[in-house]
Every structure is written in C-alpha cells, then in structure tokens.
Amino acid sequence: MTTTPARPTASVDLTLRAQNRGGAAAGCATTLLDAPWDVDARDPGYGPGASMDDAIPAAAPRQGEIPAEYREAGAEELDRRIRAAKAELGDRVVVLGHFYQRDEVIQYADYVGDSFQLATAAKARTEAEAIIFCGVHFMAETADLLSTPEQAVILPNLAAGCSMADMADIDQVEEAWEQLMELYADETAEQGAVGAEGEGLAPVIPVTYMNSSAAIKGFVGRHGGIVCTSSNASAVLEWAFERGRRVLFFPDQHLGRNTAKAMGVPLEQMPMWNPRRPLGGNDEETLQAAQVILWHGFCSVHKRFTTDQIDRARAEHPGVRVIVHPECPMPVVDAADEAGSTDYIRKEIEAATEPTTFAIGTEINLVQRLAAEHPQHTIFCLDPVVCPCSTMYRIHPGYLAWVLESLVEGEVRNRITVGPDVAEPARVALERMLAVRPAPVRPTAER
C-alpha cells in the first residue's frame, strides 16, 4: 500500500474536508476545519496546524471579532464581494499572497511569491494606496519597511504571526549581544588596532533570516549586520565572514546550520544559543572557537519532516527526486537529493522536461498547488499528514472581504506600521542584503 495521494487537489481545505467526510484523520488537528473567527475567540495561540503546540508570546497581537456579515457569508457570496471590491478599488489596492497561503485566498492575489519577493513587488506598485498582505506579521512589516509612507500595509487577520519569528525576542537578543560583547571585549579592542590579528574584523556579525520581526532586523542594522533569505543565505554568510570572525544567526537554527555546513563550517564550531541560559548554555571556550552561533529557533512546519519519510518515499517511488527546504533539520537536508528555497523548488519543478516524481519537504499548500499546476509530474508532500502553517491558515476570504470593503468605504483596517527608530536601521540591514543579491518577481498574470 502506498502512503502517497494519487493526485492531490490544490486546495488544502478541500483535502481536509474530503478526509473528514471519508472518516480519515483530518490533518494534524481536529480543529483545522473550525471557522477562523472561532479560533480567534479562543485563548491566545497560533491556531490549529503545525505551530499549535509552540508557546506564543503574551504580547502577540490578537484579532477582534469581524462583523457577522463576513463570518456568516458563504464562499460564493465572499467571492462576489471580494471581486467587486477589488474591481472598485482598481490600482489603489494590491493583494499579495504568500506561497504557503491557502488557495481560497491565493485566487485573489495580484502577486504570489516568498516574503521578500512580495515585499519587493509591493515596492514597485507605488500607485497602490493599500497593500493587503495575505501572509504573516513579519512579512507585512517588511512590506511596510519597503513601501512609501503614504501606502498602508494591511494584514487581514492580526493573529497571523509566525512562531519562528517570535522565537527571537528583541529583549533576549539584546541580552545575548551584551553577553557576547563582554566575552569578546579583547577582540573588539583589537579590531581597530592596525597590524593586530583581528584587524578590521568585528568579533561577531549578527545575521537575521527574513523570517524575523522588524525589531530584530533593526537590531541587526544597528550592529553592522544583515538580513538573509533562504535563497541567498550562503552569499550573505560570506559577506558576514568578510567583516567578522563569527556570525550570530537567528532565528532559524536549521537554515543557519545547513547553510554554514555546506560552506565547510564544522558542526563543533556552530554552538546553539539558548536564550534562557547564561552564555546561551555554552562555555566561554566554545564561544571563543565558534564560527556561527545559532539561535534556538525553528519552523514547526519544516520540523515535521524526517529521514523516515524520505526512506519511505524512495521505497515506494524508485527514482523519486526529493527536494526539501533548508528550514528542515540537518539530517533531512543531508538525506534529500536537493535543498532549496520555495522559489528554488518551484523553478526546479518547472524546469523538469520529463515526467518526474517529486517528494517535497515544504508547506502543504505550496506542494498541492505545484502538483495541480504540473499534472505531467507526480508531486507529493513528504509528510503524509496534512498540517498547514498554523498562522498562514488564519487568513480566510472572510477577512479579505472585510478589509477590502472597508477600504471601499474609506476605512483602513489592521494596518501594520514599523516605527522610525526601528525602520531606519532595519532598512539598512535590508539594503545590505540587496547589495548582495536581489530577488525579482513577476505579476501573477505574467506567469
């Protein structure tokens, strides 16, 4: 018996409903089919899906109840209202949809891409007064950083955060930095001394993954650091090593470890920093010898992938091509045929000229969409359990209709803004990354 679906539908919602009707387990949580406003009304949490067991910070934004007309409207009515509001607003609004967003929302997106591609796309649409980001909180913040002050960036559901971004809390990061600066004080003194061993090199350069809060991007910008994406992480690490003896990498330990390992950094020189312990749980010698200090963060979507799943895919599909995202744990990346960003995965599938079987280790919405778009291939998710990103899943057409019709009435709901103290250094960190490698995106209509 095979554990692989014969041909997945594009919609994760429809898959879950079909499984539910057939009496099969409805994904990783029985509450996945609950209405999102019911989830909003419960105790704070990331919601059903991969991050549901992660600890949410007390200060995480919550979404208030939206009017009953949106909660009670059926799919057809919401579709009609969303299209009508978009048509009325015309170029005044642009809707962005992340690769991991559900199909029921993606169908209204003017652009579909990864977080940085979408923020860059928004930047090019200067005529749009409103940018509706159907993604998660840090993505909307990045779009706000890159858009003009006149443009309002809107997150349809404020509870759509990101558990991984939340794992790098700014207070904990500031505290870690203070400890490291104290430890490396001698090297800091050497840095400016001509002819000294460390001449010109900072003791440590902070590097943050795009999947982090604006506060962390601002911190990095203030301390000579840089932002990276999963597409350019090795180029960014090279940039950092030209300027510093070590890198402090957050929030995703797996992207940091997988990237540095591929560049030849030994594992014993990549200690992990646990923010709840003095010196991150390390001794001074380990931190002195470190090349990359990894923050204790992870993505609960990509943490679900295992080497057993890869073994099973290979046993059931001889010749299968296994591609995983670099946010997966190192043994999974090592066991896969390839590892790459969402954009890499998409392009590799598009470039395959012969019918191919692909087993993919990334978020289920993207995998099912790729399967539907490329019927000549067999494409399936390595994880047989349907378990979407919890927080992406908080966006539903009902919220999109609410923010769009509010705009028609002249009201901006759920605006995400980054204050100037944070925005200025955060932009510096993003500009440093842009100088390393840009990431273009095309409108959906041109794909």
* Known binding-site positions: 98, 115, 162, 209-211, 230, 299, 325-327, 342, 389
Alpha carbon distance 316, 382 (integer Å)? 12
Residue 27, sorted as left (phi over 0), alpha (psi -120 to 50) or beta, turns out to be left
Site string for ligand SF4, 23-42 (x = CB under 6 A): --------------------
The rounded Cα 337 to chain-centroid distance in angstroms is 22
Single out the residue of 120, 163, 231, 309 in contact with ligand SF4 (rule: CB under 6 A).
163
For residue 341, the minimal CB distance to ligand SF4 (Å) is 12
Residue 249's DSSP bridge partners are: 207, 294
Q: Is 313 in the site for ligand SF4 (CB under 6 A)?
A: no
CA 62 to each of CA 29, 45, 59, 153, 418: distance values in angstroms, whole numbers, following the listed order: 21, 9, 9, 17, 17
Single out the residue of 11, 51, 117, 282 in contact with ligand SF4 (rule: CB under 6 A).
51
Helices (H), 11-146: 12-21, 36-41, 68-72, 75-89, 103-106, 115-124, 137-146
**Chain residues 356-375 in contact with ligand SF4, contact rule CB under 6 A:** 363
What is the chain's length? 447
Q: Is 239 in the site for ligand SF4 (CB under 6 A)?
A: no
For residue 162, the minimal CB distance to ligand SF4 (Å) is 3
CB-facing half-sphere around the CA of 390: CA atoms within 13 A:
27
For residue 300, the minimal CB distance to ligand SF4 (Å) is 6
Q: Is 60 exposed, middle or buried (0-12, 13-18, 19+ CB in 10 A)?
A: middle
Q: Is 136 in the site for ligand SF4 (CB under 6 A)?
A: yes
Q: Is the peptide bond before 251 cis (omega within 30 degrees of 0)?
A: yes
Single out the residue of 101, 157, 211, 230 in contact with ligand SF4 (rule: CB under 6 A).
211
Single out the residue of 162, 294, 310, 422 in contact with ligand SF4 (rule: CB under 6 A).
162
Closer residue to ligand SF4, CB minimum distance, 93 or 136: 136
CA 155 to each of CA 127, 150, 342, 383, 420: distance values in angstroms, whole numbers, following the listed order: 19, 16, 22, 29, 20
Closer residue to ligand SF4, CB minimum distance, 143 or 389: 389
Q: Is 332 in the site for ligand SF4 (CB under 6 A)?
A: no
Q: Is 114 in the site for ligand SF4 (CB under 6 A)?
A: no
Closer residue to ligand SF4, CB minimum distance, 187 or 363: 363
Closer residue to ligand SF4, CB minimum distance, 144 or 327: 327
The answer to whether 141 touches 121, Cβ cutoff 8 Å, is: no
The answer to whether 52 touches 161, Cβ cutoff 8 Å, is: no
The answer to whether 233 touches 340, Cβ cutoff 8 Å, is: no
Q: Is 389 in the site for ligand SF4 (CB under 6 A)?
A: yes
Q: Is 164 in the site for ligand SF4 (CB under 6 A)?
A: yes
**Chain residues 286-305 in contact with ligand SF4, contact rule CB under 6 A:** 299-301
**Chain residues 166-185 in contact with ligand SF4, contact rule CB under 6 A:** none
For residue 375, the minimal CB distance to ligand SF4 (Å) is 26
Alpha carbon distance 383, 308 (integer Å)? 10
- List the end-to-end C-alpha distance of the chain, in Å, as a whole number: 37
Sequence-distant (≥ 6) Cβ neighbours of residue 444 within 8 angstroms: 109, 110, 111, 112
**Chain residues 245-284 in contact with ligand SF4, contact rule CB under 6 A:** none
Binding residues for ligand SF4, rule CB under 6 A, total 14
For residue 302, the minimal CB distance to ligand SF4 (Å) is 6
Q: Annotated binding site for [4Fe-4S] cluster, which residues? A: 162, 299, 389
Alpha carbon distance 292, 245 (integer Å)? 9
Q: Annotated binding site for iminosuccinate, which residues? A: 98, 115, 209-211, 230, 325-327, 342
Please report, as ranges, the residues that interact with ligand SF4 according to CB under 6 A: 51, 100, 136, 162-164, 211, 299-301, 363, 389, 391-392
